A and B are shown apart, each in its own frame.
Chain A
Amino acid sequence: MALLDVKDLEVEFPLGRKTLKALHGISFSLNKGERIGIVGESGAGKSVAAFSILNLLSKPGRISAGEVIFENQDISKLNRDQMRHIRGNRISMIFQDPMMTLNPVLTIGTQMTECLKAHRAISKEEARQISISKLRDVMIPSPENRMDSYPHELSGGMRQRVVIAIALLTDPSIIVADEPTTALDVTIQAEIMALMLELCANNNVGLILITHDLAVVSQVTERIIVMYAGRIVEEGQTQDVITNPKHPYTRGLIKALPQENSPGARLNQIRGSMPALDAIPAGCSFNPRCDFADEQCHKDIPQLTGPKTHTAACIHIDRIPAFQSTGGLT
């Protein structure tokens, strides 16, 4: 039995008279201590998927169907108070922009200890000691002094370390990280990613890593989920997916990586762009951008098919030629 089992999850945004669907029934699972990556271009629905796990969708988003089963309980149906005991306790989150994640008017210490005190009956001093030790874990220099600092006194990289420390405070079983390094300086992205990998692996914490960077997930995760326009279009073991991508969209993402292109050459971007929620084409949503699309692709919505370890949602999987990688990712 998986630790987390997301089943046919649908999310919609009621906007005035129209209701827009952002997730069209996605399913995936996560085992204890496993690390999976969710990739896709901006607007694919990755953040919506991440936030719906903890039922933290921004207004007016809501889960309209499906289940989020965590430790044999459908947590999408819990009320606010029951959900509170899951959030930040059993499942933690790391947001994209560390400049915006920490409260500007509260000290680091306050923002750490309050999380512990919300979930455990411990004294102020105990909470403080645990917080300091977690700051040490994320390699923040002189953590005792940092407890009294305000967020603006720290650099972006340091702030994201603090956020990671907060996420680890209660020894959760899952961390959901939504583009944790995207807003950071390129030079420290790898550092932060390595730190997260190490901490999750050492503490047996499950990780759902959301990113638009395939190179990052290929280094950190064991499994990859590729999303396009609110659907999962490919899923499989990381190695399988990056060496033998089946879906034309996944192939396009890999070909567009700088590592796959000769230096100085123009990047092989996928033509066109991710459709807005109110302009998703009929049939396979990827069809306007796909080189292999035919009439059938404009009619049928493809389902995920293939062996359990590597599935893809494309009706032409058997027809399209084998993938030739230049080996940039491996």
Chain B
Amino acid sequence: MDYLYFAIKRLLQAVLVMLVISLIGFSIQDNLGDPLRELVGQSVSENEREAMRDRMGLNDPFLTQYGRFMYKAVQGDLGNSYFFKKPALEVIAAKFPATLELVIGATLLIIFFAVPLGVYCAINPKGWFSKFIMAFSIVGISVPVFLTAIFLIYVFAVELGWMPSFGRGDTSDLLGWNSGFLTVDGLVHLVLPSISLASIMMPLFIRLIRSEMMEILEMDYIKFAWAKGLVPVRVWFLHAFKNTLLPVITVGGVQVGTMLAYTILTESVFQWPGMGFLFLEAVNRVDTPLIIAYIIVVGLIFVVTNTFVDLLYTWVNPTVKLVGSR
């Protein structure tokens, strides 16, 4: 019951955040460029323009316009892209699979490398391998993502010729989803972009897992687990890691959102046909409806992942105090 109460409260918060994001999105539409300039040529006179503005409701009070914007938005209508002459949401939806697959690829890399490396460094903090990983991760944090990407392209695509340097490769249809996961070519194309996207978060996660786990390993209940004569694997991976996971999930959830922002850079270097690449093009073309739709979609993904992580965290952690519950 308490959990349900907490969940409802958390969902209401999420809706509130989405309202703020929509307001920001709408203000951009209000201030960025003149929609008429995009629609009509230079030849139209100022009087005609004013009449058109009236007809389109551009002279209405702010709140009226915002209300109209929201009314359409909740129905999935975020306006038409000036460039594509199609609903903005439709344009973004077509690019969404590419970005999501890139994020999934990077996330899998992070899970498969950061967890064992972080745990290893926590268990053997003084070993030479741990010190190497730690030193390497400092370098990793300070290298900008586009440098990593260019370096990867230079070594593996240009010099060695093992990997393609741009695009998504062959894609196939997976239940109406345009996926690169099912073809070898698609997977090969995914490797370098995923590595460069993962490279930003990887050092952070290794360090986070290491420091959280080292703290946990000093706790009394870990000492007690040793005193019970359990095998080391159980002490490390059940008793310690399960407690390490909780703070890592919280930070991790936020970072998935941040990773979406970094897809803009990764996608543009690799000319990856995803949402981030699309967004950069939209900015260049001052395609306002598309820019707004992107901001709202990314905001929505961010809010949804964070809400989900919070609900999950509370679910997994039996000791968490449900704020607001009696």
Smallest beta-carbon distance B14→chain A, Å: 26
Smallest beta-carbon distance B40→chain A, Å: 63
With A80-B232, A100-B219, A114-B234 in contact, is A56–B243 under 8 Å at CB? no
Q: Are B319 and A93 in contact (CB under 8 A)?
A: no
List of A residues within 8 angstroms of B225 by Cβ: 103
With A95-B220, A152-B318 in contact, is A105–B227 under 8 Å at CB? no
List of A residues within 8 angstroms of B229 by Cβ: 84-89, 115, 118-119
Q: Are A92 and B318 in contact (CB under 8 A)?
A: no
With A58-B218, A95-B223, A100-B220 in contact, is A150–B230 under 8 Å at CB? no
List of A residues within 8 angstroms of B221 by Cβ: 100-104
For B230, give its contact among A59, A102, A118, A152 (CB under 8 Å). A118
Indicate with 1 or 0, residue by residue over B141-158, a CB within 8 angstroms of chain A CB atoms. 000000000000000000
With A80-B232, A95-B220, A118-B231 in contact, is A103–B243 under 8 Å at CB? yes
List of A residues within 8 angstroms of B231 by Cβ: 84, 118
- With A84-B231, A102-B224, A114-B228 given, can you name 16 additional A-B contacts, CB distance below 8 Å? A56-B226, A59-B218, A88-B229, A92-B228, A95-B223, A95-B224, A105-B243, A105-B317, A105-B319, A106-B238, A106-B239, A118-B234, A150-B319, A152-B318, A152-B319, A166-B228
Query: In whole angstroms, how far apart are the Cα atoms of A102 and B239 in the complex?
Result: 10
List of A residues within 8 angstroms of B227 by Cβ: 54, 56, 87-88, 92-93, 95
How many of chain A's residues touch chain B, expressed as a range?
20 to 34
List of B residues within 8 angstroms of A151 by Cβ: 319
List of B residues within 8 angstroms of A95 by Cβ: 220, 223-224, 227
List of A residues within 8 angstroms of B218 by Cβ: 58-59
The B215-269 residues at the A interface (CB cut-off 8 A) are 218-221, 223-232, 234, 238-239, 242-243, 246
Instruction: Report B's interface with A, CB cutoff 8 A.
Output: 218-221, 223-232, 234, 238-239, 242-243, 246, 316-319
Indicate with 1 or 0, residue by residue over A143-177, a CB within 8 angstroms of chain B CB atoms. 00000001110000000000100100000000000
- The chain B residue sitting closest to A97, CB to CB, is B220
Query: In whole angstroms, how far apart are the Cα atoms of A279 and B319 in the complex?
Result: 42
- Jot down 27 A-B pairs with beta carbons below 8 A, ordered by A: A56-B223, A58-B223, A84-B229, A84-B230, A84-B231, A87-B228, A88-B229, A92-B228, A93-B227, A101-B220, A102-B221, A103-B225, A104-B243, A104-B319, A105-B243, A105-B317, A106-B238, A106-B242, A114-B230, A115-B228, A118-B228, A118-B229, A118-B230, A118-B231, A119-B229, A163-B224, A166-B228
List of A residues within 8 angstroms of B238 by Cβ: 106
Query: In whole angstroms, how far apart are the Cα atoms of A143 and B277 in the complex?
Result: 60
Query: In whole angstroms, how far apart are the Cα atoms of A93 and B218 in the complex?
Result: 17
- The chain B residue sitting closest to A166, CB to CB, is B228
List of B residues within 8 angstroms of A152 by Cβ: 318-319
List of A residues within 8 angstroms of B246 by Cβ: 105
Smallest beta-carbon distance A47→chain B, Å: 11
Smallest beta-carbon distance B220→chain A, Å: 4
Give the number of A-B contacts (CB < 8 Å): 78
- The chain B residue sitting closest to A96, CB to CB, is B220
Smallest beta-carbon distance A78→chain B, Å: 12
Query: In whole angstroms, how far apart are the Cα atoms of A54 and B223 in the complex?
Result: 11
Q: Are A104 and B318 in contact (CB under 8 A)?
A: yes
List of B residues within 8 angstroms of A106 by Cβ: 238-239, 242
Smallest beta-carbon distance B219→chain A, Å: 7
- The chain B residue sitting closest to A51, CB to CB, is B223
Query: In whole angstroms, how far apart are the Cα atoms of A151 and B242 in the complex?
Result: 15
Q: Which 10 A-B pairs rank lowest in CB-CB distance, beginning with the nearest? A: A88-B229, A88-B228, A87-B229, A100-B220, A150-B318, A93-B227, A115-B228, A103-B221, A152-B319, A104-B319
Query: In whole angstroms, how far apart are the Cα atoms of A54 and B317 in the complex?
Result: 31
Query: In whole angstroms, how far apart are the Cα atoms of A119 and B316 in the complex?
Result: 29
Query: In whole angstroms, how far apart are the Cα atoms of A54 and B224 in the complex?
Result: 11
The A30-72 residues at the B interface (CB cut-off 8 A) are 54, 56, 58-59
List of A residues within 8 angstroms of B219 by Cβ: 100
List of B residues within 8 angstroms of A56 by Cβ: 223, 226-227
Query: In whole angstroms, how far apart are the Cα atoms of A87 and B242 in the complex?
Result: 23
Q: Are A87 and B220 in contact (CB under 8 A)?
A: no
List of A residues within 8 angstroms of B317 by Cβ: 105
- The chain B residue sitting closest to A110, CB to CB, is B238
Query: In whole angstroms, how far apart are the Cα atoms of A119 and B227 in the complex?
Result: 12
List of B residues within 8 angstroms of A59 by Cβ: 218
Query: In whole angstroms, how far apart are the Cα atoms of A323 and B317 in the complex?
Result: 56
- The chain A residue sitting closest to B240, CB to CB, is A103
Smallest beta-carbon distance A48→chain B, Å: 13
List of B residues within 8 angstroms of A115 by Cβ: 228-230
Smallest beta-carbon distance A110→chain B, Å: 9
